[in-house]
Structure 1
Amino acid sequence: MTSAYAVHGRIRTTARHDELCRAALELLSELGYDRLTMDAVAARAGAGKATLYRRWTGKASMVADALSRMKAIPDEVDTGSLRGDLVAMTCGFGAGDDPFQTGVTAGLVSALVHDAELRDAFAEHFLAPRKRMQLTAFERAVRRGEIPPQQDFDLLAGVLPAMVFHRMMTTGQAPDADFALTVIDRVLLPLAHQPGPRRAPAPPDPAPPEPAPTEPIQTRPS
């Protein structure tokens, strides 16, 4: 039976959706995000532009969705260890040895800096699901007694994406699986095993103000 993909209240076949996403990513790799248009994607995929707008609100949501499908993550990860979970979540890394994925990444990165609509779509469709999975993995590791509680897991979940984008922006090199594993083993896991930050003791209540001195009452002699 043909699987389906639901979007905008309609059911679309996954195969056709994949074709449209592939066309979008090919043009992103060839032209860059700024020169990418919905018309060009429709022409590359042999589809009408209305077909694209039935699936996406514009090119930002289209590119974010296409990238999420190219670098898909498992629906659920629970390997029994924090490292195993984090490694399983990076199974989509591999752009370093794939010229197509490298071109897609290069076409995306520069646009993220100046295009707020693309940043919002990318954060919602690509980064947010991965962050939720990491937070779940950290919380599960706490329950197992594998790492201490009171960590800033929200901060830890942003470490790998931040280092990936730093690498791309400063070297032009797309991250690969080895890079992701290095970040996990040398940065994320050591930080996760550190004791949580100690809370500073609450300051003492301020002392009540001393009463102002009063002048003695002068009385006249009778």
Structure 2
Amino acid sequence: MTSTTTTGQERKAPGRPRNAQADEAILDAVLTLMAEGQSAAAVSIESVAAKAGVGKATIYRRWPNKEALLIDAVRSMKGPIPELAGVSARADLIAMVTANRSSRVQEFGKVTACLLPELMKDEQLRQMHHAVMEPRREVMREILRRGIASGELRADLNIELTLLMLSGPSMAQGLFGTETGVPLEEFPVVLVDALLRGAAA
């Protein structure tokens, strides 16, 4: 991956410390604009700067281009990967599904819907998005592998398909909320338990 895909977290502005409040305001401005209905293509550095109350130079000191800014905004939506207890695959899967959600889950669902068309058209953006999501997916794979090894999950479990079965409903719930018929606060437990009816040993 080229230097143009370096994330904001990995860069430091030369000669001056990073301002965490400015970073947060800029990333939140990106998410707010997209949640309001702007496509990823329509979001501009100018509109983000105006929304965040900063100058364009402040943004360019942190991100080399709009694509890197968009991906860091996605990263901020997801939050950190949680510490897992490792007691059971069920508990760890619930923890991961829960960590991928927030009180802004429906707003972030709109952001995802705006970003998807751009991911289909832009190979570089898709690779950057993959770099953000793959570490989380690998943690989920490891949970499933441990579950298989311990006998909690069936030995012939298709790990990649199981990942899709976890991520697809999560995306739909983010987009449609309670219209899916599943209460938001119960979603992680309901999803994992439904999956385990077929995946459990």
With the shorter chain as reference, the TM-score category is 0.7 to 0.9
Structure 1 equivalent of residue 5 of structure 2:
none
Contact 1:78 1:137 in 2 (8 A): no
Contact 2:81 2:136 in 1 (8 A): no
Residues 1:59 and 1:179: Cα distance change in structure 2 (over 3 Å): farther
Structure 2 equivalent of residue 154 of structure 1:
160
By how many angstroms is 1:177 displaced? 5.1
Secondary structure class of the residue paired with 1:90: helix
2:141 counterpart of 1:135: yes
Structure 1 equivalent of residue 51 of structure 2:
44
Structure 2 equivalent of residue 207 of structure 1:
none
Contact 2:147 2:153 in 1 (8 A): yes
Q: For residue 147 of structure 1, what is the amino acid of its counterpart?
A: L
Distance 1:9 1:185 in 2: 43
Residues 1:58 and 1:89: Cα distance change in structure 2 (over 3 Å): same
Distance 1:59 1:138 in 2: 36
By how many angstroms is 1:192 displaced? 3.3
Distance 1:115 1:178 in 2: 35
Contact 1:74 1:89 in 2 (8 A): yes
Structure 1 equivalent of residue 126 of structure 2:
119
For structure 1, list consecutive stretches of 5 or more residues without a partner in the other structure.
195-222
Contact 1:6 1:12 in 2 (8 A): no
Secondary structure class of the residue paired with 1:33: coil
Aligned length: 184
- Choose which of 183, 187, 191 in structure 2 pairs with 1:183: 191
- Choose which of 87, 101, 115 in structure 2 pairs with 1:93: 101
By how many angstroms is 1:85 displaced? 0.5
Distance 1:47 1:172 in 2: 30
Structure 1 equivalent of residue 176 of structure 2:
173
Contact 2:45 2:56 in 1 (8 A): yes
Q: Deviations over 1:120-150 (max 9, x none)?
A: 222211x212201101212222343322445
For structure 2, list consecutive stretches of 5 or more residues without a partner in the other structure.
1-7
Superposition TM-score, scaled by structure 1 size: 0.67
Secondary structure class of the residue paired with 1:41: helix
Which has the larger share of helix?
Answer: 2
Secondary structure class of the residue paired with 2:67: helix
Distance 1:66 1:177 in 2: 24
By how many angstroms is 1:36 displaced? 0.4
Distance 1:192 1:60 in 2: 38
Structure 2 equivalent of residue 16 of structure 1:
22
Q: Deviations over 1:43-68 (max 9, x none)?
A: 22232333323333322332222122
Q: For residue 87 of structure 1, what is the amino acid of its counterpart?
A: I
By how many angstroms is 1:178 displaced? 4.1
Structure 1 equivalent of residue 4 of structure 2:
none
Percentage of pairs with the same residue:
27
Secondary structure class of the residue paired with 1:128: helix
By how many angstroms is 1:113 displaced? 3.5
Secondary structure class of the residue paired with 2:18: strand
Q: For residue 93 of structure 2, what is the amino acid of its counterpart?
A: L
2:35 counterpart of 1:29: yes
